[in-house]
Structure 1
Amino acid sequence: MNKFIRFILIASFSILSPLTQAQTAQAQIGPSDFAGPYVGFKVGTNTSNASGAISKASHTTVFPGITAGYNFDIGRFVVGAEAFADFHHGSTTFKDGGIDAKLGMPLIQFMPYARLGFTSSWPDNRLHGGLGVEYKLARQISAALEWTADSSHHDGTKRVNNSVTIGLQYHFN
């Protein structure tokens, strides 16, 4: 595990741990608090590889990103769609943008989730997926820790992206 990913994980847990204790003093947050429209900003690390006919390259890049989405409260689950843009210019696929379907299961202020969709940028469109956990800091603010991946086979070259991000989201509920 590279040092940046380790730093993000340790920083996330050290920030979220005291907030978990403070959360008990606030009103309980439920599944419907994850529903509705939201926007967010994230920062992370992207590890990408390219191999094949064109070139062989491996890059690790720190990058910013933005998100916007809408979630629906469906009983015990949250189902939604999220548009994203990742600006990892140093990777083998440069910057990416796309839309994913999102399925989560809220557990009080935590919501583990999976995502699956498509990303598009140079060199082509490709399947995009990932896993994450969102934590409600307050009724309208949440933090998300996420891993996503995609791969491409274009012009005889295979490209693979893996990203780990941490972000903040503002919910309009």
Structure 2
Amino acid sequence: MKQNVMALAIVGALASAHAMSADDFTGFYVGGKTGVNLSRGSGGDFDTTQEATATVGVEAGYNAEVAKDIIMGVDAFYDYNNKTDHDLKQYPGYSDKFGSQVYGADLKLGMQFDRWMPYAKVGYAWAKGTGEENGKADGMHAGLGVEYKLTPNLGLTGEWTASRARDDDGAKLTNNNFTVGLNYYFGARNEAPLVMPAVVAPVIPKPEPKPEAKPVVVAPKCNDVTTSTPVRIDGASFANASSKLKADAYSKLDTIVAGAKANPDVRFEVAGFTDSRGSAKLNSKLSTNRALAVKQYLVAHGIDANRIISNGYGPEQPVADNASEAGRAQNRRVEIRFTKNETSQRCN
């Protein structure tokens, strides 16, 4: 009989039911951006060529998931567009050097695709000229953009915005801004670290001599022993009512992949669970599909499929009271249970 192999043990912390774990792009954020501004004046004697200059800006806002993968938010912004010379069309050879400060608020609507979120926004802005044209104006503000989540906290943005501000005399200032930026989301948590126990060879005492006796044939045991600390992937790490994994589960699963590759003799079960709401048939199907999605992720990242079994248990084996929302959130989970084999003998 070969010596026992110590199974992989992982200390994992369940992510709370915070907005950041409910959706990658939800919650409060602040950001900064920089890029190119195209501006021109029009109306009356204020008719200029369009010119390019540098722009910088800041923003702050809040996003919420209003339907499956649909994000709606409000965004407050401030843009500073540098001064540059604009030729006056009515007066050849003359120019005005001006820039602008633009601030306002937009409503934003986006759709999440894993780590990507394209979005549109529309709102209202106030503008103040700087330099030789220092009047004030206000008008519509709109834009299109896309955001990519680099980490749970950081999003990279690319955006076009346009503002059309008009003053009381009918002069109009038009700005088109093309920017890239970074947004910081509050409330995201880093995953708990993977703890790998040392593999210790068992101490086998020298057997004492025994009196002769008739041989007794004992059937070998081939039971698997399950470790007591499973890794849990909470239900918020999946799209709503879906088996589609969200980006916030990747780092935990990647850590499991690394540990499994370092311990090739360990096998494990991926077990899916739901709360008690809804039909038993749908809960069983959802838990099975979520467990299978985790297994497929592990296999796609180099773990032999023969080392993994996946099962869905529906509302069975709750870890909290289904009478409360907090308890139901804990019961919506996928557990990864690591096992070791007690013997290498063949069992019939």
TM bin (shorter chain):
0.7 to 0.9
Contact map agreement 1:36 1:72 (CA 8 A) in 2: yes
Match of 2:186 in 1: 172
Q: Distance in 2 between matches of 1:63 and 1:84?
A: 13
Are residues 1:71 and 2:84 paired?
Answer: no
Residue of structure 2 in register with 1:49 after alignment: 40
Question: Segments of 4+ in structure 1 off by > 4 A?
Answer: none
TM norm structure 1 = 0.77
**Residue 93 of structure 1 contacts residue 159 of structure 1 at CA under 8 Å; is this kept in 2?**
no
Aligned to 1:150: 163
In 2, Cα distance between the equivalents of 1:144 and 1:120? 23
Q: Which runs of 5+ in 1 are unaligned?
A: 1-28
Distance in 2 between the 1:31 and 1:136 partners?
14
TM-score (norm: length of structure 2): 0.40
Distance 1:38 1:153 in 2: 31
Write out per-residue CA displacement over residues 90-125 of structure 1, whole angstroms, 9 at most, x where no aligned residue. 275611111100000000000000000011122222
Structure with the bigger percentage of strand: 1
Deviates more, 1:145-154 or 1:161-170: 145-154
| Larger deviation, residues 156-165 vs 127-136 | 156-165
Question: Paired residue for 1:138?
Answer: 151
The structure whose RCO (Cα within 8 Å, separation 6+) is larger is: 1
Name the CA distance, whole Å, in 1 between partners of 2:21 and 2:41.
43
Q: Across the two proteins, how many residue pairs are aligned to each other?
A: 145
- For the residue of structure 2 that corresponds to 1:156, the secondary structure is coil
What secondary structure, in the 3-state scheme, does the structure 1 residue paired with 2:40 have?
strand
Cα deviation, 1:28-56, whole Å, max 9, x if unaligned, reads x9871100000001001110111232323
Q: 1:97 aligns with which of 75, 78, 103?
A: 103
Cα RMSD of the aligned pairs, angstroms, is: 1.9
Deviation at 1:156, TM superposition (A): 3.1
User: Are 1:160 and 2:152 counterparts?
Assistant: no
Unaligned runs of 5+ in 2: 1-19, 85-97, 129-135, 188-348
Aligned-residue sequence identity (percent) comes to 39
2:7 corresponds to 1:39: no
